[in-house]
Amino acid sequence: MTKAMTRGRALTAAGLLAAAALPLTATAPPAAASDNGQSLRPALGWSSWSFVRREPTEAKIEAQADALAASGLKDHGFVFVNLDDFWQKCDADGFAVDSYGRWSADTAKFPGGIKALADHIHAKGLKFGFYVTPGIAKNAVTRNTPIEGTPYHAKDIADTSTTEKNYNCKNMYAIDYTRPGAQEFVNSWARQFASWGVDYLKIDGVGAQDVPDVRAWDKALRATGRPITFALSNNLPIDHATTWRALANSWRTQGDVECYCGPGPHGSGYPLTDWSHVLARFASAASWQPYAGPGGWNDLDSLEIGNGDRAGLTADQRRSQLTLWSMAAAPLLLGTDLTQLDPVDKPMLTNDRLVAVDQDGIAARRIVDSGVKQVWSKRESSGAYAVALFNTGTSGTATVSVNWSQVGFTGSGDVTDLWSGSHKGAIADAYSATLRPGETRLIRVTPVNS
């Protein structure tokens, strides 16, 4: 499975101030970014997959939206509430479909319907995210349902020799986009989602073979006239990175961050993740770094911060996860239970200095990679540098050092610790930190003119 999607976000007052403190990079962003006008900054919010998993309901999602607003997280820019998979109704042959061959919502789980859920979320000043996968349902083809507003039917566009990846009801045929009616089918689905109030759409199970689907959905979402952030998932091939960037607002760079090691069905429940799953993101973030920029972001998957140690990470590891995601300018989509916010974790998530590092629109480079010692750096348009030092080990302290010349300047730098907010003053030539296992140090350093 995977998580939510990412494309337009309006900053709230506090989030806007935080982002404004760090303008977009002065260097040229990667070429050919999606020009749909969405996700000029990485999306912030919550996604249902990690905690709610296969049992989403209207009541559960509304409770998370209520908590997101009441907790104050919304005031720090966290505005998306993304319903992931398992909102649909299945029968023995796959997805139940409506009269035009589109998935039907499970009314036992969502008695008010998807639009009512979106309306509830919007009433809280939040944005609603939704979920789909490529293809057309077997039931639509079997029934040969009409394609809304056209003379075509499901059998006219389905390639029944090829199935599409799906994690729930399965039984999805590929769409042959060379056939008349194919784009119109996706257009009709996008119009339906827009009419329900979708602000963010995640298309899951995407691989290189699904470029035509991604292209069709991009075109369809634009045609709705509604601003909808478009996110791709998961574990997308990097050799198609320029294509993902041209068509979408974010793309999952790896598989799921969840460990599926909980005691519940399909590994649900706590813990949600473990350090090895977070640690794997360091290498992928370094590889994908050149492709991130305004309008398109490398999605490292959900942030498992909010429920303390039981989520599967120590407090130091949780700070390191948020630091890496922020340095990578990745979407910050929480996967935890917001109705049970941990008193240690809430200050992490409401630290506007960290949010601002994420929202500066610049993906950091890894400049030190030596055993458990890593250093990441990015130059902000103000001329200051954000620098993160990590001890990625699980035992033993490590002294992690970086020369200012590696960061990008020489001489002295005026240093502020961004986690604590403490000003350290001018430090000459280099910086070092002795870190506990899994700990990070995040600083902003401004070159001092000699």
| b/e burial code for range 288-326 (CB count within 10 A of at least 16 → b) | bbebbbbbbbbbbbbbbbbbbeebbbbbbbbbbbbbbbb
Q: Do residues 309 and 402 share a domain?
A: no
- Whether residue 338 lies inside any domain: the answer is yes
pTM: 0.93
Q: What's the angle, vertex CA 331, arms to CA 300 and CA 196, rounded to 5?
A: 115
Total domains present in the chain: 2
% of the chain surpassing 90 pLDDT: 92
| Domain's final residue, options 342, 363, 384 | 363
Rounded mean pLDDT, 72-101: 98
pLDDT tens-digit readout, 142-156 = 999 999 999 999 999
Please check the confidence at residue 242 and state whether its pLDDT lies above 90.
yes
Q: Do residues 196 and 344 share a domain?
A: yes
Q: Do residues 184 and 316 share a domain?
A: yes
The answer to whether the CB of 225 falls within 8 A of the CB of 194 is yes
- The region of weakest confidence among 5-14, 340-349, 404-413 is 5-14
**How far is the C-alpha of 42 from the C-alpha of 21, rounded, in Å?**
15
pLDDT of residue 29: 52
Q: Do residues 356 and 383 share a domain?
A: no
pLDDT band at 9 (very low <50, low <70, confident <90, very high): very low
- Whether residue 3 lies inside any domain: the answer is no
Please check the confidence at residue 163 and state whether its pLDDT lies above 70.
yes
pLDDT band at 342 (very low <50, low <70, confident <90, very high): very high
Q: Do residues 332 and 437 share a domain?
A: no
Rounded mean pLDDT, 184-212: 98
**How far is the C-alpha of 138 from the C-alpha of 121, rounded, in Å?**
32
**How far is the C-alpha of 159 from the C-alpha of 19, rounded, in Å?**
46
Rounded mean pLDDT, 106-132: 98
Q: Do residues 333 and 372 share a domain?
A: no
Q: Do residues 355 and 395 share a domain?
A: no
Rounded mean pLDDT, 165-182: 97
pLDDT of residue 449: 78
| Domain's final residue, options 363, 383, 418 | 363
Whether residue 111 has a cis bond before it, omega within 30° of 0 = no
pLDDT of residue 103: 98
Q: Do residues 179 and 34 share a domain?
A: yes
Rounded mean pLDDT, 382-401: 98
- Whether residue 7 lies inside any domain: the answer is no
Q: Do residues 331 and 199 share a domain?
A: yes
Angle between helices 114-123 and 182-196 (to 10 degrees): 50
Give the chain's length.
Answer: 450
| b/e burial code for range 8-25 (CB count within 10 A of at least 16 → b) | bbebbebbeebbeebebb
Tell me the CATH number at 394: 2.60.40.1180
**177 burial class (0-12, 13-18, 19+ CB within 10 angstroms)?**
middle
| Domain's final residue, options 363, 379, 398 | 363
pLDDT of residue 33: 86
Angle between helices 182-196 and 211-223 (to 10 degrees): 50
More confident residue, 349 or 15: 349
- Whether residue 161 lies inside any domain: the answer is yes
Q: Do residues 402 and 264 share a domain?
A: no
**How far is the C-alpha of 31 from the C-alpha of 194, rounded, in Å?**
29
Please check the confidence at residue 25 and state whether its pLDDT lies above 50.
no
pLDDT band at 12 (very low <50, low <70, confident <90, very high): very low
pLDDT of residue 194: 98
- Whether residue 281 lies inside any domain: the answer is yes
- One DSSP character per residue, 348-406 reads HHT-HHHHHHHHT--PPEEEEEETTEEEEEEE-TTS-EEEEEEE--SSS-EEEEEEHHH
**How far is the C-alpha of 259 from the C-alpha of 268, rounded, in Å?**
9
Q: CA dist 206 to 212, 238, 418, Å?
A: 10, 12, 36
- Whether residue 5 lies inside any domain: the answer is no
**How far is the C-alpha of 103 from the C-alpha of 112, rounded, in Å?**
16
Domain that holds residue 395: 367-448
Mean pLDDT of the chain: 93
pLDDT of residue 27: 44
pLDDT of residue 387: 98
Tell me the CATH number at 299: 3.20.20.70
Q: Do residues 193 and 237 share a domain?
A: yes
What sign for the dihedral angle of Cα 370, 373, 379, 384?
negative
Rounded mean pLDDT, 329-333: 98
End-to-end CA distance of the chain: 53
- Whether residue 136 lies inside any domain: the answer is yes
Q: Do residues 303 and 414 share a domain?
A: no
Rounded mean pLDDT, 102-114: 98
